Amino acid sequence: MAFSSIHVLYLASLFISFPFPSQGDLIDEVCNETEELKASCLEILRNDPRSSSENLVVLSQIAIDAAIKNATGLSPYVQSLANKVTDPQVKARILGCVVNSDDALLHITQAKQLVATKQYGPANDKAHLANLALSTCDNSFLLPPANEPIELKQATNWLKALIVIFTVITNRFG
């Protein structure tokens, strides 16, 4: 029996009606959970060539690598901000943020080691500790003089965002 044009149209409509998964579905699912960070999440995960595997393990590695890269430069950056400040109270708070940045880097580095051994729950816990260290920095400016340099706030917020992306991924491991 030969295929008629009706059969061909029917088969074509079946293919259109049932979309096949396309690259990015897992990334879309993950990044949809990050709400206001979605655009950054999509950019970070999709721009890494490793993401083509559409694998949670790989996505967790991409996210933690981005966080480590950012955290590595944060402490020296915060130190440079402290060097520009003349108010001794504000300067002391910023120097406290240098310590917080170092703590965050330590926790993120430990999270990466845990990911390498597939210990996603403990890695997630370390990421939360890194975010806590960064929040401690931000919170030190809640009382007067509350002159947190905007550059400091932006830098800590960006690293916290990277960590949130990582924790969303590691939460999917159960």
Per-residue H/E/C for the chain: CCCCHHHHHHHHHHHHHCCCCCCCHHHHHHHHCCHHHHHHHHHHHHCCHHHHHCCHHHHHHHHHHHHHHHHHHHHHHHHHHHHHCCCHHHHHHHHHHHHHHHHHHHHHHHHHHHHHCCCHHHHHHHHHHHHHHHHHHHHCCCCCCCCCCHHHHHHHHHHHHHHHHHHHHHHCCC
**Residue 54 pLDDT class (50, 70, 90 cuts):** confident
Rounded CA-CA distance 82/90 in Å is: 8
11 pLDDT exceeds 80?
no
Instruction: Map out the domains of the chain with their CATH numbers.
Output: 25-171 (1.20.140.40)
**Side-chain-facing half-sphere of 90: CA atoms under 13 Å:** 15
Q: What is the pLDDT of residues 114-146, one digit of tens each?
A: 999 999 999 999 999 999 999 999 999 998 877
Secondary structure (3-state) at 24:
coil
Q: What is the pLDDT of residues 69-102, one digit of tens each?
A: 999 999 999 999 999 999 999 999 999 999 999 9
**Residue 41 pLDDT class (50, 70, 90 cuts):** very high
Say what the pTM is.
Answer: 0.83
